[in-house]
Amino acid sequence: MAVLTHPDPRLSQKCDEVQLDCETEMAEISQLVEDLIVTMRKENGAGLAAIQVGIPKRVFVYDNSDVESDQTSATAIINPVITFASEELTEDDEGCLSFPALYAPVTRSQKVVVSGYNQAGEPVTAEAEDFLARVFQHEIDHLDGITFVMHLPDEAKMQALREYFDLHAG
Ligand SMILES: [Zn+2]
């Protein structure tokens, strides 16, 4: 699937909850999850939200491969909600498949807990720190139409957007 890039207006839209009790929709979501994982891998992303391929549903996938055992793995969370976000914050460079080649430092909670559902419609909870906590916050933002540059202070945001347009001009 093709990944939408800024300034595609669909990246600003708030996505709809998945109807967990609708079999037809859940079957579509299972297929979507497979496609999202393939696309995330192809693009070397750490996470991918459904809206980034133009589907306005509250679903994202993330890579949780085990580097040490060389075991690749990816997981989807449907209708994710952040149930805990630490007051402790960290700043690190962040990028997004929808902003190719742009990186900027974003402040996020160091730790989060996310609740949601898997493709079988069963409740799941995921705890994450540091990089993965950043991925969770970034992807869940996408479901509300928020991209990482919106977290930058005004001047840094202007600079990042200017850099982005320069990178992709012509
Ligand atoms: Zn992104």
Distance of CA 158 from the midpoint of ligand 1 (Å) = 18
* pLDDT tens, position by position, 74-100: 999 999 999 999 999 999 999 999 999
Give the strands of the sheet with 111-117, arranged side by side: 47-49, 59-63, 74-85, 111-117, 123-129
For Cα atoms 156, 92, 143, give the angle at the middle one, nearest 5 degrees: 80
Please give the pLDDT value at position 65: 87
Q: Is the pLDDT of residue 147 over 90?
A: yes
Statement: residue 166 has pLDDT above 70:
yes
123 within 8 A of 115, measured Cβ to Cβ: yes
Q: Judge whether 139 counts as a catalytic residue.
A: yes
pLDDT score for 15: 98
Ligand 1 centre distance from Cα of residue 36 (Å):
13
Ligand 1 centroid from CA 76, angstroms: 15
- 69 Cα to the center of ligand 1, angstroms: 27
96-142 pLDDT per residue, tens: 999 999 999 999 999 999 999 999 999 999 999 999 999 999 999 99
Of 17-21, 63-67, 84-88, which gets the smallest average pLDDT?
63-67
Per-residue pLDDT of 40-61, as tens digits, reads 999 999 999 999 999 999 999 9
Q: Out of 34, 139, 155, 163, which one is annotated catalytic?
A: 139
pLDDT at 30: 97
β-pair type (74-85, 59-63): antiparallel
Q: What is the DSSP string of 19-34?
A: -TT-HHHHHHHHHHHH
SS3 10: helix
CB 82 within 8 A of CB 23: no
Indicate the pTM of the whole model: 0.96
Query: What is the residue-wise DSSP string for 15-83?
Result: PBPP-TT-HHHHHHHHHHHHHHHHHHHHTT-SEEEGGGGT--BSEEEEE--BTTTTB--EEEEEEEEEE
Q: Token pair 């995921």 is at which residue?
A: 126
Q: DSSP letters along 98-162, please?
A: TSTT--EEEEEESEEEEEEE-TTS-EEEEEEEHHHHHHHHHHHHHHTT--GGGGS-HHHHHHHHH
Range with the lowest mean pLDDT among 14-18, 63-67, 101-105, 141-145? 63-67
Q: Measured in angstroms, how far is the CA atom of residue 49 from the centroid of ligand 1?
A: 7
**How confident is the prediction for the chain on average, in pLDDT?**
96
